[in-house]
Structure 1
């Protein structure tokens, strides 16, 4: 690939943004992080901007190697104020903190995101909710849900999973109905969260179980309410077996 690039340049062809971003993408998959970063530096020196696909490719490589600090540094270097990639840069920065459960930094950067004029989307909220859920920060989790309603962001399967897993893991199932009563129980289950979130944080137990249930084609008209009801029964039986044992 490098030899082809040199031959291309020797024949008078210029390196455009598409070529530079393609190099970044392939180095992020087949090269080392150092090779990838050198390629990104070369693109910068050519005064071409890294594109959305290039940002995602480099971020995935950092996440795969669990290099979350380097991910954050890369995102800041790209420039968090870029509007042409939506919330991607901010969401990935929040993810870099959530993956290490750096809750103060997560909240600080979230407030900076709002101050910069960006509006949180479902991925933004679910990155925070996953971290709150796994840290059993129930107050923060519910404040985040209220903020979602204020922003008219509709919860998805991941959001439900954050609530269900947090309560059942702490054996607080009696409070689950109260926690979920304002949510879109009768909607058809969907997942709109960026898949990079799952690569960094994985999927919760409710999320994984629900995906398995949704594969049963004999059952139609699934709703969040039906999935929660089935999962709660499943967890109750499993926990009973565990405690009896």
Structure 2
């Protein structure tokens, strides 16, 4: 409500009430936060005319706003001006600088400020949000060693990592073929914050990527003892590993167990079965069974974690869905509510319908 705030501010001056630093700071912070830097700097100069010197809070608001609008050179100049005016950055200023530089991917500037902060013995005043931002930046650039250093710092601060950051770190391990590290990562997170779906996902993926049936069985047993609930994500991880191993026997067994576990297929599950049939699985009966159960009349959903697609790829069916869907007329694409049956008909016709007809004849 900046208009009301500025109106009240002018009323103060009309009433000969001298504005204080606590009056100017929120105005400068709010205006700069809206990108109105000329107006913010006008009030910065005006406060000096009243004999008020900007403090760290004044400059911190400007620095954060410059970062928000990716004005990184202005951030640096603001710090220099701050120091020239005898107002030296404190730990709050350094935390803001590191966070904004890391979000902008400016690693050298980020590291320089962090080392400067440490040299001033402010290491313990590095906020968890700052550590998370640095971890995110190193993960973005795939810098494993530095990523792990700041992951340790963040975990030691007892700060819970959000799932998106966990995924980002895990993707670095996957792309670096450090599959066994996923198991260690999952165990460390479980020790620090307890067993969650993302933790089970990491551990299952570790053994699935290593194509270790024994390892996956161990995780499944642990889940059972911990009373962890099955979901389609866990099932898809295991089935993708079976397909890669061409272990169609265990794939068939797990597909038969899905209803027992209360798991309904998503688009990845459908793709697993159809792709497996292209390499010798020869079981379109599962698709027909899902159709009779009403699963294929449901609206298409993707309930599989993005980490799984990073590890195993999208597969032929999913890629075909994307290609065909993108080739459709935009109006028809948005107007239709897509079901699994729609996609199967779109991708597999006429071959898919012929195979399903053959399956119906055999079953009858």
- Aligned residue runs from structure 1 range 1-245, under 5 A: 1-8=110-117, 10=120, 14-30=125-141, 32-79=143-190, 82-83=193-194, 86-170=196-280, 172=282, 175=285, 177-178=287-288, 180-181=290-291, 182=293, 184-215=295-326, 216=328, 217=330, 218=332, 220-233=336-349
- Relative distance call for 1:174 and 1:17 in structure 2 (3 A) is closer
Cα deviation, residue 177, structure 1: 4.8
For the residues of structure 1 that align with 2:269 and 2:284, how far apart are their CA atoms? 19
In the alignment, is the contact (CA less than 8 A) between 2:268 and 2:304 conserved in 1?
A: yes
Superposition TM-score, scaled by structure 1 size: 0.81
For structure 1, which runs of at least 5 residues remain unmatched after alignment?
Answer: 237-245
Contact 1:161 1:205 in 2 (8 A): yes
Give the whole-Å Cα distance in 2 for the aligned partners of 1:176 and 1:119. Answer: 23
- Work out whether residues 161 and 204 of structure 1, in 8 Å CA contact, stay in contact via their aligned partners in 2: yes
| Number of matched pairs | 236
**TM-score (ref. length: structure 2):** 0.57
- Does the 8 Å contact 2:182/2:205 carry over to 1? no
Please tell me the root mean square deviation across aligned C-alpha atoms, in Å.
2.9
Partner of 2:359: none
Any unmatched runs of 5+ in structure 2?
1-109, 353-364
- Residues 38-60 of structure 1, C-alpha deviation per residue, up to 9 Å, x if partnerless? 22223344444444333222111
Question: Whose helix fraction is larger, Structure 1's or Structure 2's?
Answer: 2
Secondary structure of 1:152's counterpart equals coil
Computing the radius of gyration over CA atoms, which structure comes out larger, 1 or 2?
2
- What secondary structure, in the 3-state scheme, does the structure 1 residue paired with 2:296 have? coil
